[in-house]
Structure 1
């Protein structure tokens, strides 16, 4: 019995050795070596030059009365020229509205009116965010606004009424606030 078991194990060892040396085909699928990817470094994000971070976005306030006053269309184009994805400020959620209002109140910006990225669709009194066309949901309109006084108006923030929103013709030169996504470094 011992010699039978010894012979069996010897035969197994011999087959394993022959298979390793001769590389005999097997019915098993080929084994592909897999390299484990090293843990990637965490993605570091920063705001474009001249912007500050607040929440998940980056903002730049242009409040110089002499040099930083543009029509809505020109302000939108200027914000776009500052970097990929740049546009006039768009406040899509109530939390973002509150966060930005608090920042403006605490940071000592010039009290005035500032363009943001909302614009009226024709003469409908319906406002959308210009970069996405999304109808504005959460909002912070001043009482009686929007008033539908003109066609194709845009939205301004006014510090004199606690940074609430007003609608006004796009042709007026105003200060403005830009928004841009953070960039990877």
Structure 2
């Protein structure tokens, strides 16, 4: 028996499948901001992220008849956005270098005591992530922000799990260097 996931927007999906433009618009309205954020975190450019978003929604609406509720619409759409974003990076000739055998230590995380300080640090980290090279930023974003594990990242990017782990560790190290350069919170 196939698993059917309860989707709070199930009725909109059904109406959209039946050709309702209003339902399609409502799905777009509900998901566009979150999906734009996903695309932006991967591609690192708002204009390109907007293009990815539009293409992903076109893909989703064109393939909606094939959507079988084996997952929620949001997760299904997110996978389309991630794949579109990765394809854009590949078009930019993103090359992740296989680095077998590299062992990098984990970088300890610091704890913050003040809520304002936390908000400031989050903003600084987001700015630091934007400065990472594409390969590092993509793996870091997919792992930390999108919740994929290294096996899933390896499949999405067509790299080994070890390369995903290495890129992630190198991204953390590079991000720490960027954050040190920016200096402590004032």
TM, length-normalised to structure 1: 0.22
| Higher alpha-carbon Rg | 1
Instruction: Give me the TM-score of the superposition, normalised by structure 2.
Output: 0.21
Higher relative contact order (CA closer than 8 Å, sequence separation 6+): 1
Is the strand fraction higher in 1 or 2? 1
